[in-house]
Amino acid sequence: MENKRNKPSPARFWMWFNPIGRETGGWAFILNRVTALGLIFYLFLHLIVLGQLAKGPEGYDGFVALMHNPYVIVGELLVVAAGILHGLNGIRIILTTFGIGVTYQKTLFYTLMAVALITILIFGIRMFTA
Amino acid sequence: MTQTTASKNISAPKYGETAWLWLVKIVTGPLLVIFVLIHFIVNHFTAENGLLTYADVIAYYKNPLIPAMEICFLAVVVTHSLIGLRGIILDLKPSRSTLKIVDWILVILGVTAVSYGTWLALTIASTGI
Amino acid sequence: MSQNWNITLKVSRQKEGETPHFDEYKMEVNPDEYVLDAVERVWAFMDRTLCYRHACHHSTCGACGMRVNDVEKLTCITYIRDMTHDGGTLKIEPLRNFPIISDLAVDMGTLYSRLESVGARSVLPAPEAEIENPPATWSADDGQYIRLADCIECGLCISACPSAATSDEYLGPAILAGAQANGLKRNPELLALVDCEHGVWRCHSAFECTAVCPSFVDPARRIMDLRTQIIKERFTRLFHKA
Amino acid sequence: MSKPHAIIVGAGFTGTATAHDLALRGFDVTVIDRGDICNGTSGRTHGLLHCGGRYAVKDQESAIECIDENMLLRKIVPQAIEPNGGLFIALNESDLQYGEVFIEGCEACHIPIEEITPQKALQLEPNLNPGMLAAFLVPDGTFDPLRLALSFAATAKKNGAKFRIYTEAKSLILDGKGTVVGVDILDRASNKQSELRGDIVVNATGAWAGEIAEMAGADVPVKPTPGVMVAYEQRFVQRAINRLNKPGDGDIVVPQRRMVIVGTSSFEVSDLDYVPVFEDHVKLMLERGAELIPGIRNAKVRGKYMATRPLIGGGMGRSSARTFKCYDHKETDNVDGLVTITGGKATTLRAMAEKTADVVCEKLGVNTPCTTKDVQLISYRQYYSQPN
């Protein structure tokens, strides 16, 4: 009587992103995975876009002109935010992984996220006022 | 005697070996934080309003330290992200053969990205001269 | 003192060949009763077809793990008061990541077999069983006291772990914790098991295992400790190659 | 036609142990239970592996069974037992007086006890009531209820026994001549009914034994007697602590993982399937437990629960003997093909199984002796990996 109901399966990958009933560490995991995927996507997009530089001044300057679009700036802010969140959360993972602050991992997470929020805010203000 | 068994288990290469990969990911993480910081600080000080024109970028790349740093940055960020991506794919329970293919794709992708980036940085740096 | 509450139990039901659905049962409870008492009353007085696992009713056997309002709980020690309110609902579901036998009963076979394969010991001498804050005046020969160690093999951690949701090959928190407690130094053969693609490196530090563990095991800490041990051992090997 | 088929109803202590015994004697064994292993009384014991001291004065038959089985279980199933010993402590004059008959009783039942000074007892167990007047070291132990049963079940499975859990006995099949020839079963996981035929049906349902026997018109004089237990969130002692007096309410404290469990009370019920945990009994456990270990008063409650003992014989509550009894219903009710085992307690599960298997073998003319005294049980976890 092979029973497959409720068994782990790759098809249930959305469970990674399900925050219902989860705790601090679980939210941190979701945040980290979402930002990781976003940043990987951005990394390759960024490389392709920078290829414009090789085409000389016309291509690049034309492209930069497009970048002043406020929607694009919001997108850029998202990238910056993702980088900050992933980076600071990464610090928590490294520390706990070597046994440092395991018992304080929740406090650590909240502190780092507070720092992240402030930094993102500063970046946001600068980017929209520049 | 326990030592010999330990060494046997530990040194026997296993496919999907992740101890070293994991360590590389852990080490490249803080490196990236540092790189990003440098990137922003240097960016901010060398170009007042950011690298917004082609000319700015060319001027920025005149300092030979800049393309060197950017290439290192790229290598580290590609390594970190592709090891991370492999970690996520591992969660999807790939078969041994699938994982082998995934590994090859990731390696090719990584090498291509870094070579392309290096070529790009060097091209820009040489344009300026 | 405490007034009774009227609550609704929303119980996940699934017999062989059926698709899962919820059945609702309204009942009056004392909020200081346990969730398992309410489930047991559904079976005793309302619906004899309900299947669920339970045995010791005091957090020793690990049989009664369920998801209560989306959180993994050992239902025999979970007060109804802590999970809902007067007029509220208790949503009861089986643990995730285990095959369902029927309704709330799941098959723990893989968990038990894997715990066996890492030699997780259920009975240990007291000092090895890591009692935090032991009585101040323990005598020197405490080593003779054998005690049933803390992991009750309830599977809550496996159900809560995001890495375990997509791959049944990942050993999972309870098993890695069992290996750590058993000791890599004492059992070097365990290295091969925990240091591989389905072992400690698949943990993504979500700490959910520790958050839901009802029994002081702290699997996340143990997984972190295994990693440090393995990396240290690898460096030692690297520089002592014969 | 080769092997006789025994159906065991109930997968608690007696059911799993009897399955183990019969499997070793070459039977085809099928165990059915409406729940999982140990979902009834067995799972909910406090886990005291009795040395017999508790019964040494009034119920020496039980006491001797206990000490013999205690020593045996330590050898055959160490994976589920903490052999840490126990203490009987006296707190007042009445306890001290009881101490005298206790010593005699233990001698008569060959239970090795050692009187130690209260100072020495406090050295061993610093959390005991410092006002104790006398203390005796005894060879008690503690066991993990589910894992003890699983060890027997695993070994039975290894020897070919089959376990059908979530399978309820709806009725007994009679052949028209008053002989039980099988069980009508309901697979509760699939909601399918079917017939299970066997050469003998063993009713190992403990407190529920009367209900099953009645299906064949047979009678079992079992008196279900629930008791309340309370688990506290600190392991105050390493040994089982007993009050040195006649068995009474809340006079045992048993360490279990990071807890201690105080038990038990004693009352009677009519509906066995759900017995509430009465608050006044919980309070009584606290009061009585705190007499033995004052720290309990400030400890957090981890669990409150109850279990229904299957008491047999004519007595009331605590005065009933704690020994077990095996009924061949051919002799008691002229119903063939049905054997009931009930009474007793966890400590004597192996002996109960031996007795039951002896009766079954005699009825079916099987001549294989019992070997469970010498067979080491396999890991409880293998219950899940052994083929079913």
Structural domains for chain B:
18-128 (1.20.1300.10)
Distances (CA, A) of D341 to B22, B88, D180, D301: 58, 56, 16, 35
CB contact under 8 A, C231 and B23: yes
In the complex, which subunits touch C with 3 or more CB pairs below 8 angstroms?
A: A, B, D
The number of beta carbons lying within 10 Å of the beta carbon of residue C29 is 21
Q: Is A19 part of any domain?
A: no
For the stretch D144-172, pLDDT in tens is: 999 999 999 999 999 999 999 999 999 99
**Structure confidence at residue A4 (pLDDT):** 59
For the stretch D228-239, pLDDT in tens is: 999 999 999 999
The mean pLDDT of B63-92, rounded to a whole number, is: 91
Type and span of the H or E element at A64 = helix A57-66
Q: Report the DSSP beta bridge partners of residue D185.
A: D169, D194
- Identify the closest residue of chain C to A13 by CA–CA distance: C166
CB contact under 8 A, D305 and C60: no
**DSSP reduced 3-state for A80:** helix
Task: Choose from C166, C176, C195, C201 for mutation: most chain B CBs within 10 A.
Answer: C201
The mean pLDDT of A29-42, rounded to a whole number, is: 96
Q: Give the confidence band of B60 by pLDDT, cuts at 50, 70, 90.
A: confident
Mean predicted lDDT score pLDDT of chain A: 87
Contacts of D38 in chain C (CB under 8 A): 55-56, 61, 63
Closest CA to C194 of C233, C235, C227: C227
Q: Is A84 part of any domain?
A: yes
Residue D18 to residue D166: CA distance in whole angstroms: 19
For the stretch D3-48, pLDDT in tens is: 999 999 999 999 999 999 999 999 999 999 999 999 999 999 999 9
**Structure confidence at residue D214 (pLDDT):** 96
Q: Give the confidence band of B127 by pLDDT, cuts at 50, 70, 90.
A: confident
Q: Give the confidence band of B12 by pLDDT, cuts at 50, 70, 90.
A: very low
Q: Is A104 part of any domain?
A: yes
Distances (CA, A) of C65 to C60, C73, C75, C79, D310: 12, 6, 6, 14, 28
- Identify the closest residue of chain C to D384 by CA–CA distance: C109
Q: Is A5 part of any domain?
A: no
Contacts of B116 in chain A (CB under 8 A): 47, 51
Contacts of C208 in chain A (CB under 8 A): 22-23, 25-26, 29
Contact D352, D17 (CB under 8 A): yes
- Identify the closest residue of chain C to B96 by CA–CA distance: C197
CATH number, domain of A70, equals 1.20.1300.10
The number of beta carbons lying within 10 Å of the beta carbon of residue C3 is 7
**Structure confidence at residue B128 (pLDDT):** 58
CB contact under 8 A, C99 and A10: no
The mean pLDDT of D193-214, rounded to a whole number, is: 96
Q: Is A10 part of any domain?
A: no
Using the predicted structure, report yes or no on whether residue B8 has a pLDDT greater than 60: no
Q: Report the DSSP beta bridge partners of residue D225.
A: D309
Using the predicted structure, report yes or no on whether residue B6 has a pLDDT greater than 70: no
**Structure confidence at residue D232 (pLDDT):** 96
Structural domains for chain D:
5-42+146-221+322-385 (3.50.50.60), 48-143+223-312 (3.30.9.10)
**Structure confidence at residue A1 (pLDDT):** 38
Task: Choose from C75, C148, C152, C216 for mutation: most chain D CBs within 10 A.
Answer: C148
**Structure confidence at residue B70 (pLDDT):** 87
Contact D206, C102 (CB under 8 A): no
**DSSP reduced 3-state for D292:** helix
For the stretch C175-226, pLDDT in tens is: 999 999 888 888 888 888 888 878 899 999 999 999 999 998 999 999 999 9
In the complex, which subunits touch B with 3 or more CB pairs below 8 angstroms?
A: A, C
**D226 Cβ contact list (under 8 Å, min separation 6):** D266, D267, D268, D269, D275, D306, D307, D308, D309
Å from A19 to nearest chain C CA? 10
The mean pLDDT of D64-86, rounded to a whole number, is: 96
Instruction: Decide yes or no: CATH 3.40.50.360 for domain C5-106.
Output: no
The mean pLDDT of D269-275, rounded to a whole number, is: 89
Q: Is A7 part of any domain?
A: no
CB contact under 8 A, C162 and A103: no
Domain that holds residue A39: 24-129
**C187 Cβ contact list (under 8 Å, min separation 6):** C119, C179
Q: Give the confidence band of D318 by pLDDT, cuts at 50, 70, 90.
A: low
ipTM of the complex: 0.90
Q: Is A58 part of any domain?
A: yes
Q: Does A44 touch chain B (CB under 8 A)?
A: yes
Q: Give the confidence band of B5 by pLDDT, cuts at 50, 70, 90.
A: very low
Contacts of A6 in chain C (CB under 8 A): 94, 96-100, 106
The more confidently predicted of residues A61 and C34 is: C34
- Domain C109-239: give its CATH architecture: Orthogonal Bundle (1.10)
> In this complex, which of D83, D146, D384 lies closest to C55 when CB atoms are compared?
D146
- Which of A65-74, B63-72, D183-192, D246-255 shows the lowest per-residue confidence on average (mean pLDDT)? A65-74
**Structure confidence at residue A7 (pLDDT):** 85
- Identify the closest residue of chain B to A88 by CA–CA distance: B33
> Tens digit of pLDDT per residue, chain C (242 long)?
568 999 999 999 999 888 899 999 999 999 999 999 999 999 999 999 999 999 999 999 999 999 999 999 999 999 999 999 999 999 999 999 999 999 999 999 999 999 999 989 888 888 777 766 555 555 545 557 888 889 999 999 999 999 999 988 899 999 999 999 888 888 888 888 888 878 899 999 999 999 999 998 999 999 999 999 988 888 887 787 65
Domain edges within chain C: 5-106, 109-239
Q: Which of residues 161-200 of C touch B (CB under 8 A)?
A: 163, 166-170, 184-185, 188-189, 191-192, 195-197
**Structure confidence at residue C140 (pLDDT):** 47
Å from D171 to nearest chain C CA? 16
Residue B67: Cβ-neighbour burial (10 angstroms; 0-12, 13-18, 19+): buried
Å from A11 to nearest chain B CA? 8
**Structure confidence at residue D323 (pLDDT):** 85
**Structure confidence at residue C186 (pLDDT):** 85
> In this complex, which of C71, C94, C204 lies closest to A6 when CB atoms are compared?
C94
